[in-house]
A and B are shown apart, each in its own frame.
Chain A
């Protein structure tokens, strides 16, 4: 058991959780304005790809992260435009965006780098890891918390910022209002449409960062479909966390932990395909246990959007 549950497992949990957490925060923001963002998966994938592209062309990992965030924000603007402005069904648009992202990244991968399946350049540097001077010397905890990429710390910081923003500021209050009853919010002169756009664009930005962490933080490469359903897990984490940033942190940690365990189990000579199932099995079980009223109410609210 010592081998199984050691510090590095928790350390990798923190690392694994980051893309899910970032995307789930974006999903939560969208859900709070009444937009059910199914396109998280595609947006992370786009982020992961554009981060590698940025790194390749700029040769600077920070510019690459910015480039990814910018590209996905642009991508999410298209999503917002089609669903809000042209009033297309957000689920259908979201699903088609996931396929679009899968196709577009594969195509561009071949067009730009002339490779199939994956792109790897050994000269390319990924995100640095930060060893926090004081913290890393704390026994156990230091080993878990310290030594991650800056995006990991940013993710947790953003969760706290979002919690404060939503529940303590006027602007956050109005955002919640626009999701709760858009007609009423509009009648009070709140610019609901603008807020919805803002939330979707912010989710694009967050997904861009999530993708960058995936392709530059955890490994330094891009492979087709490398998100492997993380966007959908993030969607579940959003619901499970009841769209509260701190709740989303908790549910994302659960899924990140399962991700880490599934990789660890492969080392115990369990079949890979079986261990890869684990996060999804837990997702199903979690949905089963957390089907309480407030969660259902919220999903109704989303469906009942005008």
Chain B
């Protein structure tokens, strides 16, 4: 065993984050660590990386007992960590980002040429191509992820912890990353992979340790298990099977007609987009992020002014209307970036729940506190939002819980039309189940939903019809019955399915 963690316990006051957790890692192994938010994965890894001290328990590397007081100690023992939020310096070059802390050069001088050379060799050695002189700020997230991995390799790590490495990557980048991890494991590096995405685990992991409520609920060989068993071990119960009734589309609630959005003089960001959403159906918009989905959302919700075309909501032209007017006409919007558009981190859970209702819940210009608190309490209860109180600041909620609050708030308006953009990005499967269930329920209640997601499985699971966007255009529309991942992937890359057949 390369790494053994025995009976790790971590208590924060009355709260036990880890209870006698055993975890081990073999050389050259990819070991997935799964569990819902708050199950104790992050705590365990923070202990391993020297960022937290365990209440009790033993860590052994290569059979020798070790204590990590700081990350520097962990790095010394060959443990590297790639954090969920990248720890990079945007205005520095790739080479500078990799060598920082152990810069080459003599007598205090930083030899940048040498650094670029070292990084070039490193990237060749491990088959992860990067341009050492490029600025991090100009790199895609996929490349940034690669830089993070090269950085821990440069630091001499043999054990690499990846915390939610694929959350922000496009499907293609995810594929490349997983291939790179497999390659490195074949070269003798060992990985601990923390993720919510079970299909990725089934793809690359050798073994899986499942945590729930701070305890290990299973250590499994990937070959002997399946996604269902894993989710049961994670959640502690069977997940509800979705019975999707065939859709009975009613009247058109959203009509996007030849919408063009031009930014500057270049190519249009949206090029003559036309699509309709009817009552009682979910229309999925698939596509690699950055192909015009964000702009489409902004065009519909009134956040951006369109140059050509019309947007009609429940038969009324809202092209020139303000965001407030459009919302009043019957639009709710679960935004794609919950921190930027969806919530105010410094405001309380109560205030975040009230947003959008403040004009309805007022009398003589004052907010009706009792009525509003009851409403937010309902959101919290029906969606199972885990929060200590309504006064907690929103930024202290985990991503999944904040997202549940936002979804509850937006669906609570009871509007005939809902935009759900990346409704489950970065949330655990329990929260995902809740959110998907509620979206389907809204569909049963004859609401129209436009679902925008870069997760193909989500699109396929929920949608009745699927449109695919590429480069600001709609490249195809499919009924879900005829849609396959292959067909959609082809359209997402700008291909044409009809030319194939």
Bound-complex Cα distance A183 to B109 (A): 24
Do the beta carbons of A173 and B100 come within 8 Å of each other?
A: yes
Bound-complex Cα distance A58 to B281 (A): 88
The verdict on B70 contacting chain A, using a C-beta distance below 8 Å, is yes
Do the beta carbons of A181 and B110 come within 8 Å of each other?
A: no
Bound-complex Cα distance A171 to B89 (A): 16
Do the beta carbons of B109 and A169 come within 8 Å of each other?
A: yes
CB < 8 Å neighbour of B101 from A169, A172, A181, A188: A188
Question: C-beta contact mask, B70-84 vs A, less than 8 Å → 1, else 0?
Answer: 111001000000010
The verdict on A139 contacting chain B, using a C-beta distance below 8 Å, is no
Query: Which residue in chain A gives the minimum CB-CB distance to B86?
Result: A184
Complex contacts, B75 vs chain A, CB 8 Å: 189
Bound-complex Cα distance A176 to B89 (A): 10
Complex contacts, B100 vs chain A, CB 8 Å: 173-174, 177, 185, 188, 190
Bound-complex Cα distance A173 to B70 (A): 22
Do the beta carbons of B87 and A189 come within 8 Å of each other?
A: no
Do the beta carbons of A190 and B110 come within 8 Å of each other?
A: no
CB < 8 Å neighbour of A181 from B72, B87, B103, B108: B87
Complex contacts, A181 vs chain B, CB 8 Å: 87-90
Q: Interface size on B (CB < 8 Å)?
A: 20
Do the beta carbons of B108 and A169 come within 8 Å of each other?
A: yes
Bound-complex Cα distance A168 to B71 (A): 27
Given contacts A188-B100, A189-B72, whether A170 and B105 have CB atoms under 8 Å apart is yes
Do the beta carbons of A173 and B108 come within 8 Å of each other?
A: no
Complex contacts, A190 vs chain B, CB 8 Å: 100-101
Do the beta carbons of A177 and B71 come within 8 Å of each other?
A: no
Do the beta carbons of A173 and B103 come within 8 Å of each other?
A: yes
CB < 8 Å neighbour of A180 from B71, B90, B108: B90
The verdict on B92 contacting chain A, using a C-beta distance below 8 Å, is yes
The verdict on A187 contacting chain B, using a C-beta distance below 8 Å, is yes
Bound-complex Cα distance A176 to B72 (A): 20
The verdict on B91 contacting chain A, using a C-beta distance below 8 Å, is yes
Bound-complex Cα distance A108 to B308 (A): 71
Do the beta carbons of A171 and B108 come within 8 Å of each other?
A: yes
Bound-complex Cα distance A172 to B72 (A): 20
Complex contacts, B101 vs chain A, CB 8 Å: 174, 188-190
Give, as a whole number of angstroms, the nearest-CB distance from A33 to chain B.
13
Query: Which residue in chain A gives the minimum CB-CB distance to B104?
Result: A170
Bound-complex Cα distance A177 to B101 (A): 10
Complex contacts, A168 vs chain B, CB 8 Å: 109-110
Query: Which residue in chain B gives the minimum CB-CB distance to A167?
Result: B110
Given contacts A177-B100, A180-B92, whether A170 and B87 have CB atoms under 8 Å apart is no
Do the beta carbons of B89 and A184 come within 8 Å of each other?
A: yes
Give, as a whole number of angstroms, the nearest-CB distance from A146 to chain B.
33
Bound-complex Cα distance A208 to B160 (A): 49
Bound-complex Cα distance A169 to B92 (A): 15
Give, as a whole number of angstroms, the nearest-CB distance from A50 to chain B.
32
Interface residues of B in 277-311 (CB under 8 A from A): none
Complex contacts, B103 vs chain A, CB 8 Å: 170, 173
Query: Which residue in chain B gives the minimum CB-CB distance to A184?
Result: B87
Most chain-A Cβ atoms within 10 A of its Cβ — which of B83, B90, B91? B91
Bound-complex Cα distance A249 to B87 (A): 33
Bound-complex Cα distance A70 to B353 (A): 54
Bound-complex Cα distance A14 to B46 (A): 55
Interface residues of B in 101-159 (CB under 8 A from A): 101, 103, 105, 108-110
CB < 8 Å neighbour of A169 from B72, B87, B110: B110
Bound-complex Cα distance A185 to B87 (A): 8
The verdict on B428 contacting chain A, using a C-beta distance below 8 Å, is no
Given contacts A173-B100, A177-B92, A177-B100, whether A187 and B109 have CB atoms under 8 Å apart is no
Bound-complex Cα distance A50 to B74 (A): 48
Chain A interface SS verdict (over half): helix
The verdict on B213 contacting chain A, using a C-beta distance below 8 Å, is no
Do the beta carbons of A180 and B89 come within 8 Å of each other?
A: yes
Q: Interface size on A (CB < 8 Å)?
A: 18
Bound-complex Cα distance A188 to B96 (A): 13
Complex contacts, B91 vs chain A, CB 8 Å: 180
Interface residues of B in 461-482 (CB under 8 A from A): none
Most chain-A Cβ atoms within 10 A of its Cβ — which of B75, B105, B110? B110
Question: C-beta contact mask, A184-204 vs B, less than 8 Å → 1, else 0?
Answer: 110111100000000000000
Give, as a whole number of angstroms, the nearest-CB distance from A305 to chain B.
14
Complex contacts, A169 vs chain B, CB 8 Å: 108-110
Bound-complex Cα distance A190 to B102 (A): 11
Complex contacts, B71 vs chain A, CB 8 Å: 187-189
Do the beta carbons of B109 and A189 come within 8 Å of each other?
A: no
Do the beta carbons of A188 and B87 come within 8 Å of each other?
A: yes
Do the beta carbons of A189 and B70 come within 8 Å of each other?
A: yes
Query: Which residue in chain B gives the minimum CB-CB distance to A173?
Result: B110
CB < 8 Å neighbour of B96 from A171, A173, A187, A189: A173
Give, as a whole number of angstroms, the nearest-CB distance from B227 to chain A.
33
Query: Which residue in chain B gives the minimum CB-CB distance to A183?
Result: B87
Give, as a whole number of angstroms, the nearest-CB distance from A244 to chain B.
13
Complex contacts, B70 vs chain A, CB 8 Å: 189
Bound-complex Cα distance A180 to B93 (A): 13
Bound-complex Cα distance A293 to B410 (A): 36
Interface residues of A in 124-182 (CB under 8 A from B): 168-174, 176-177, 180-181
Give, as a whole number of angstroms, the nearest-CB distance from A64 to chain B.
33
Query: Which residue in chain A gives the minimum CB-CB distance to B72?
Result: A189
Query: Which residue in chain A gives the minimum CB-CB distance to B101?
Result: A188
Complex contacts, A188 vs chain B, CB 8 Å: 71, 87, 100-101
CB < 8 Å neighbour of A187 from B83, B90, B92, B105: B83
Do the beta carbons of A170 and B109 come within 8 Å of each other?
A: yes
Give, as a whole number of angstroms, the nearest-CB distance from A271 to chain B.
46
CB < 8 Å neighbour of B88 from A171, A174, A176, A184: A184
Bound-complex Cα distance A288 to B288 (A): 40
Bound-complex Cα distance A32 to B90 (A): 14
Give, as a whole number of angstroms, the nearest-CB distance from A8 to chain B.
41
Query: Which residue in chain B gives the minimum CB-CB distance to A180?
Result: B89
Give, as a whole number of angstroms, the nearest-CB distance from B496 to chain A.
39
Most chain-B Cβ atoms within 10 A of its Cβ — which of A169, A176, A177, A189? A189
Complex contacts, B90 vs chain A, CB 8 Å: 180-181
Bound-complex Cα distance A181 to B83 (A): 14
Question: C-beta contact mask, B424-450 vs A, less than 8 Å → 1, else 0?
Answer: 000000000000000000000000000
Bound-complex Cα distance A184 to B103 (A): 16
Give, as a whole number of angstroms, the nearest-CB distance from B107 to chain A.
9
Give, as a whole number of angstroms, the nearest-CB distance from B317 to chain A.
37
Interface residues of A in 84-120 (CB under 8 A from B): none
Bound-complex Cα distance A123 to B110 (A): 50
Interface residues of A in 267-287 (CB under 8 A from B): none
Query: Which residue in chain A gives the minimum CB-CB distance to B75?
Result: A189
Q: A169-B109, A176-B92, A190-B101 are in contact. List 7 more A-B contacts (CB 8 A).
A: A168-B110, A170-B105, A170-B109, A173-B103, A177-B92, A180-B92, A181-B87
Q: List 17 A-B contacts (CB under 8 A).
A: A168-B109, A170-B105, A171-B108, A172-B110, A173-B103, A174-B101, A177-B92, A180-B91, A180-B92, A181-B89, A181-B90, A184-B87, A184-B88, A187-B71, A188-B71, A188-B101, A189-B71
Q: Which 7 A-B pairs have the closest CB atoms?
A: A184-B87, A189-B72, A188-B101, A180-B89, A170-B110, A170-B103, A173-B110
B-to-A contact residues, CB < 8 Å: 70-72, 75, 83, 86-92, 96, 100-101, 103, 105, 108-110
